[in-house]
């Protein structure tokens, strides 16, 4: 039985370099750096004092004040990108089947700010001061629930949580849900609001974060030999996926087609990738096989590219092991060089960056990339963007726990 084709008809993005898809794309084209000293809390006692925070985000543009007070910021971000994507899509919700329109939207950590605040209340004042909204504000699935309630979407509704691969898994699930005919339209992506003391302190304790406080604008440097850890970011991204005929029948603008997904496990270590990036290699391979194309059809890879010692080396090796000689024909870059690592939101935001690259035949730079190691000899698009025809592109995300997800997008052609 032939599988239904799935296209992207709406996008919403909230990032450290822009509070809309257009601003995000302008930032990517310019090589804009979203890093800065943390403003949310006193970092005097912290090893790392910088992050990629959102700037000038006004939640009241999207959510009424009383309702916003009963949500964690990660849910604020989720509803914001959902509104953006819906506007971009041109969908008339009164004209679609709500029972065949769903939401799969994840968060790697969920309401961490809420958890911190309510834990403080408990220790200072006792259990009677714990908010009655504590649990629904904190749980990772609540963003998907709020999106469905906001727009009265009654199809499949749940969250994915797989660390940094979270929102790529959400998009993959949404893709397969439409393919099999369960839904016609899906809202899918992820959000994260983890620039909070426990996250900075926890990642510092794990020695995962960069500590370049004296040169924080240069700290997120994927594939550079001087990298010393990732830099935490925040934000959200959402794609509206739609069955092709459903989109065509309403005259939708189509950004790209999603043609394959690859989902694998390292089965190796809680934080370190498998040797030579074996899980990443299989993830990319499976996405390509799912699409029924050849490895030489791939033009561009938006890499996971975290700026950590192990990820960058093993992801590079995975690309070389899978693509062989063609690896040197590919353009590769890392959006995280400009946005930092958005954890559970990374997959959706970077999928949007990948789709924008396809639409514009343009590869954004990997900023801060000064020097690579001898074995990391691919075209990582250092510092300067390039024009390039892009027909097929992969977006990679890999998470703690050995979760790997690769999404394969294609320039749309009827």
Q: How far is CA 247 from the centre of its chain?
A: 24
Longest CA–CA span in the chain (Å) reads: 64
Which two three-digit tokens encode residue 273?
Answer: 């990738």
Cβ atoms of 225 and 371 closer than 8 Å: yes
Question: What is the radius of gyration, based on Cα positions, of the chain?
Answer: 20
357 Cβ neighbours under 8 A, 6+ residues apart: 300, 302, 363, 364, 390, 393
Q: What is the DSSP letter of 52?
A: B
The tokens 């010393």 sit on which residue? 228
φ/ψ (deg, to 5) at 300: -155, 145
Q: Is the dihedral of CA 358, 329, 280, 264 positive or negative?
A: positive
Q: How far is CA 142 from the centre of its chain?
A: 18
DSSP SS3 for 410? strand
255 noted as active-site residue? no
| Distance separating alpha carbons of residues 345 and 260, to the nearest angstrom | 20
DSSP SS3 for 274? coil
In order of 126, 131, 134, the CA distances from 122 in angstroms are 4, 10, 11
Q: Is 203 exposed, middle or buried (0-12, 13-18, 19+ CB in 10 A)?
A: buried
164 noted as active-site residue? yes
Residue tagged active-site, from 76, 164, 314, 364: 164
Residue tagged active-site, from 76, 246, 304, 314: 304
Alpha helices in 181-307 (DSSP H): 197-205, 244-249, 278-291
What is 64-75 written as a DSSP string? -HHHHTTS-HHH
Cβ atoms of 136 and 142 closer than 8 Å: yes
314 noted as active-site residue? no
| Distance separating alpha carbons of residues 201 and 40, to the nearest angstrom | 14
| Distance separating alpha carbons of residues 239 and 348, to the nearest angstrom | 7
Active site residues: 164, 304, 341
């Amino acid at each position: 039985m032939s599988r239904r084709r799935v296209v992207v008809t709406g996008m919403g993005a909230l990032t450290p370099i822009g509070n809309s898809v257009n601003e995000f794309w302008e930032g990517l084209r310019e090589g804009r750096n979203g890093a800065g000293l943390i403003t949310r809390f006193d970092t005097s006692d912290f090893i790392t004092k910088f992050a990629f925070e959102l700037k000038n985000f006004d939640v009241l543009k999207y959510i009424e004040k009383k309702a916003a007070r009963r949500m964690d910021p990660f849910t604020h971000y989720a509803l914001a990108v959902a509104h953006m994507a819906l506007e971009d899509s041109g969908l008339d919700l009164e004209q679609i089947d709500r029972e065949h329109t769903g939401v799969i939207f994840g968060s790697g950590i969920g309401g961490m700010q809420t958890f911190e605040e309510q834990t403080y209340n408990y220790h200072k004042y006792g259990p009677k001061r714990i908010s009655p909204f504590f649990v629904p504000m904190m749980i990772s699935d609540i963003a998907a629930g709020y999106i469905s309630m906001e727009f009265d979407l009654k199809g499949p509704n749940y969250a994915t949580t797989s660390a940094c691969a979270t929102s790529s898994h959400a998009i993959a699930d949404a893709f397969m849900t439409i393919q099999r005919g369960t839904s016609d339209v899906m809202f899918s992506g992820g959000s994260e609001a983890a620039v909070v003391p426990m996250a900075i302190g926890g990642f510092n304790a794990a020695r995962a974060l960069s500590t370049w406080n004296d040169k924080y604008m240069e700290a997120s440097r994927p594939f550079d030999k001087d990298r010393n850890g990732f830099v935490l970011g925040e934000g959200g991204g959402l794609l509206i996926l739609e069955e092709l005929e459903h989109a065509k029948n309403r005259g939708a603008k189509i950004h790209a087609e999603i043609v394959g997904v690859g989902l694998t496990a390292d089965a190796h270590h809680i934080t370190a990738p498998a040797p030579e990036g074996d899980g990443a290699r299989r993830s990319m391979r499976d996405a390509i096989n799912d699409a029924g194309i050849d490895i030489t059809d791939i033009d561009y890879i938006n890499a996971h590219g975290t700026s950590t010692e192990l990820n960058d080396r093993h992801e590079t090796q995975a690309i070389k092991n899978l693509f062989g000689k063609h690896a040197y024909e590919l353009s590769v870059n890392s959006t995280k060089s400009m946005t930092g690592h958005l954890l559970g939101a990374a997959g959706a935001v970077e999928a949007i960056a990948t789709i924008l690259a396809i639409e514009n035949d343009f590869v954004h730079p990997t900023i801060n990339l000064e020097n690579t190691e001898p074995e990391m000899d691919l075209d990582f698009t250092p510092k300067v963007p390039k024009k390039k025809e892009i027909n097929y592109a992969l977006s990679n995300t890999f998470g703690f726990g050995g979760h790997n997800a690769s999404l394969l997008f294609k320039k749309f052609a009827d």
